[in-house]
Chain A
Amino acid sequence: MPQIDDIARQLASKFSVCGADYIEAHFEDRVASHITYRGKNLEGLGKSASIGGNIRALINGGWGFVSFNSFDNLDNQIKIALEGARLAGNNPSIRLADIPKAIAKIDSTCKDNPVQIPLKQKKELLEGYNAIMWQKPQLQTSIIVYGDSCKKSMFVNSSGSLILQERCDVTLNIAAVASDGNQIQQASISVGSLGEFSAIQQLDEQIKEIAERASELLAAPQAKGGEHTVILDPVLAGVFVHEAFGHLSEADFIYENDKMRELMVLGKQFGRPELNIVDGALIPGLRGSYQYDDEGTPASKTYLIKDGILTSRLHSRETAAKMNEKPTGNARAVDYRHAPIVRMTNTYIEPGESSFEEMLSEIKDGIYARNWYGGTTSMEMFTFSAGEAYSIKNGKIGHLLRPVVLSGNVFQTLQNIDAIGNDLEMNQGGGCGKGNQYPLPVSNGSPHIRLQKCLIGGK
Chain B
Amino acid sequence: MSDLAIEILSKATAVAPAAEVFITQSENTPVIFEANRLKGIQNKEGRTIALRILKDGRVGFASSNKLDNLDWLVQTAVETSQFGAPADYNLAVQSTFPTVDSYDPGVEQINLSQMVETGQQMINYLLAHTPELVCDAHLNRHKSTVIVVNSEGLTASYTRSAFSLDVEGTLISGTDMLFVGDGENSCHPIVDTQRILESIRLQLERSKTLTTTKSDKMPVIFSPNGVASALVSPLFAAFNGKLVLEGASPLEGKLGLAMFDEKIELYDDATVPFRPSSSPFDDEGTPCQCLSLIKDCAPQNFLYDLKTAAQAQKKSTGHGIRGGGLPVPSAKAFVFRCGKTSPDDMIADIKEGLFIEQVMGATQGNILGGDFSGNILLGYKIQNGRLVGRVKDTMVFGNVYELLKNATAIGSDGRWVGSNFFAPSFYFPALSVSSK
Q: Interface residues, chain A, CB within 8 Å of chain B?
A: 34, 36, 38-39, 41-52, 62-70, 80-81, 83-85, 87-88, 90-91, 119-120, 123, 140-141, 177, 179, 183-186, 225-227, 256-257, 259-260, 263, 337, 339, 373-385, 402-405, 407, 409, 411, 453, 455-459
Q: Report the Cα distance A375→B134, complex, angstroms.
A: 25
Closest to A252 in B: B34
Contact across chains for A179 and B248 when beta carbons are under 8 A apart: yes
Name 6 extra pairs, CB < 8 A, besides A38-B246, A260-B172, A455-B436.
A44-B326, A45-B84, A48-B64, A49-B64, A81-B43, A257-B170
Q: Report the Cα distance A455→B172, complex, angstroms.
A: 23
Verify if B250 is at the interface (C-beta below 8 Å from A).
yes
Residues of B near A455 (CB, < 8 A) are: 375, 393, 395, 434, 436
A-B contact pairs, 19 of them (CB 8 A): A45-B85, A48-B63, A49-B62, A49-B69, A62-B39, A66-B43, A84-B42, A84-B112, A119-B83, A259-B173, A260-B172, A263-B175, A383-B375, A385-B364, A405-B364, A407-B375, A409-B393, A458-B397, A458-B434
Contact across chains for A47 and B436 when beta carbons are under 8 A apart: no
Q: Which of the residues B65, B72, B83 comes within 8 Å of A45, measured between beta carbons?
A: B83
Q: Mark B177-209, 1 if CB is under 8 A from A, else 0.
A: 101000000000000000000000000000000
Q: Report the Cα distance A67→B40, complex, angstroms.
A: 14
Contact across chains for B65 and A87 when beta carbons are under 8 A apart: no
Contact across chains for B62 and A48 when beta carbons are under 8 A apart: yes
Residues of B near A120 (CB, < 8 A) are: 83
Closest to B112 in A: A87
Residues of B near A186 (CB, < 8 A) are: 366, 368
Cβ < 8 Å to A, chain B residues 356-376: 360-366, 368-369, 371, 373-375
Residues of B near A62 (CB, < 8 A) are: 38-41
Q: Which of the residues B42, B46, B80 comes within 8 Å of A46, measured between beta carbons?
A: B80
Given A50-B64, A455-B395, CB of A140 within 8 Å of CB of B247: yes
- Measured CB to CB, the closest approach of chain B to A257, in angstroms, equals 5
Q: Report the Cα distance A177→B116, complex, angstroms.
A: 49
Q: Which of the residues A38, A227, A375, A411 comes within 8 Å of B436, measured between beta carbons?
A: A227
Contact across chains for A457 and B85 when beta carbons are under 8 A apart: no
Given A385-B365, A405-B364, CB of A66 within 8 Å of CB of B132: no
Residues of A near B170 (CB, < 8 A) are: 257
Contact across chains for A374 and B364 when beta carbons are under 8 A apart: yes
Given A64-B40, A90-B37, CB of A70 within 8 Å of CB of B360: no
Q: Report the Cα distance A191→B37, complex, angstroms.
A: 41
Residues of B near A48 (CB, < 8 A) are: 62-64, 324
Verify if B242 is at the interface (C-beta below 8 Å from A).
yes
Verify if B61 is at the interface (C-beta below 8 Å from A).
yes
* Interface size range of chain B in the complex: 35 or more
Q: Mark B149-184, 1 if CB is under 8 A from A, else 0.
A: 000000000000000000000101101110100000
Given A66-B42, A256-B134, A384-B361, CB of A140 within 8 Å of CB of B434: no
Residues of A near B64 (CB, < 8 A) are: 48-50
Q: Report the Cα distance A186→B132, complex, angstroms.
A: 45
Contact across chains for A38 and B242 when beta carbons are under 8 A apart: yes
Contact across chains for A68 and B45 when beta carbons are under 8 A apart: yes
Verify if B144 is at the interface (C-beta below 8 Å from A).
no
Which of B72, B361, B396 is most buried by chain A, counting CB atoms within 10 A of its CB? B361
Q: Which of the residues A50, A88, A225 comes within 8 Å of B397, measured between beta carbons?
A: A225
Cβ < 8 Å to A, chain B residues 232-250: 242-243, 246-250
Q: Report the Cα distance A88→B43, complex, angstroms.
A: 13
Contact across chains for A225 and B369 when beta carbons are under 8 A apart: no
Q: Mark B48-61, 1 if CB is under 8 A from A, else 0.
A: 00000000000111
Residues of A near B326 (CB, < 8 A) are: 43-44, 46
Q: Report the Cα distance A363→B422, complex, angstroms.
A: 47
Q: Interface residues, chain B, CB within 8 Å of chain A?
A: 34-35, 37-47, 59-67, 69, 72, 76, 79-80, 82-86, 112-113, 116, 132, 134, 170, 172-173, 175-177, 179, 215, 242-243, 246-250, 324-326, 360-366, 368-369, 371, 373-375, 377, 392-393, 395-397, 432-434, 436
Contact across chains for A381 and B364 when beta carbons are under 8 A apart: no
Residues of A near B84 (CB, < 8 A) are: 42, 44-46
Contact across chains for B369 and A378 when beta carbons are under 8 A apart: no
Residues of A near B397 (CB, < 8 A) are: 225, 405, 457-459
Contact across chains for B325 and A36 when beta carbons are under 8 A apart: yes
Q: Which of the residues A34, A38, A119, A373 comes within 8 Å of B365, measured between beta carbons?
A: A373
Residues of B near A42 (CB, < 8 A) are: 84-86
Given A184-B368, A405-B374, CB of A49 within 8 Å of CB of B61: no
Contact across chains for B44 and A66 when beta carbons are under 8 A apart: yes
Contact across chains for B34 and A256 when beta carbons are under 8 A apart: yes
- Measured CB to CB, the closest approach of chain B to A431, in angstroms, equals 14
Given A46-B325, A381-B377, CB of A375 within 8 Å of CB of B44: no
Residues of B near A141 (CB, < 8 A) are: 243, 246-248
Residues of A near B362 (CB, < 8 A) are: 405
Q: Report the Cα distance A455→B215, complex, angstroms.
A: 11
Q: Report the Cα distance A47→B69, complex, angstroms.
A: 14
Residues of A near B432 (CB, < 8 A) are: 225, 457-459
Closest to A255 in B: B35
Which of B43, B45, B377 is most buried by chain A, counting CB atoms within 10 A of its CB? B43
Q: Report the 4 A-B pairs with minimum CB-CB distance, sorted nearest first.
A: A383-B361, A46-B61, A457-B373, A256-B35
- Measured CB to CB, the closest approach of chain A to B395, in angstroms, equals 4
Contact across chains for A87 and B368 when beta carbons are under 8 A apart: no
- Measured CB to CB, the closest approach of chain B to A309, in angstroms, equals 17
Contact across chains for A91 and B248 when beta carbons are under 8 A apart: no
Given A225-B434, A459-B432, CB of A411 within 8 Å of CB of B395: no
Residues of B near A185 (CB, < 8 A) are: 366, 368-369
Residues of B near A69 (CB, < 8 A) are: 45-47, 65-66
Q: Report the Cα distance A459→B324, complex, angstroms.
A: 39
Residues of A near B65 (CB, < 8 A) are: 49-52, 69
Given A119-B80, A376-B360, A380-B176, CB of A90 within 8 Å of CB of B38: yes
Contact across chains for B248 and A47 when beta carbons are under 8 A apart: no
Q: Report the Cα distance A62→B32, complex, angstroms.
A: 10
Contact across chains for A183 and B395 when beta carbons are under 8 A apart: no
Q: Report the Cα distance A215→B320, complex, angstroms.
A: 31
- Measured CB to CB, the closest approach of chain B to A453, in angstroms, equals 8
Given A87-B112, A179-B247, CB of A376 within 8 Å of CB of B172: no
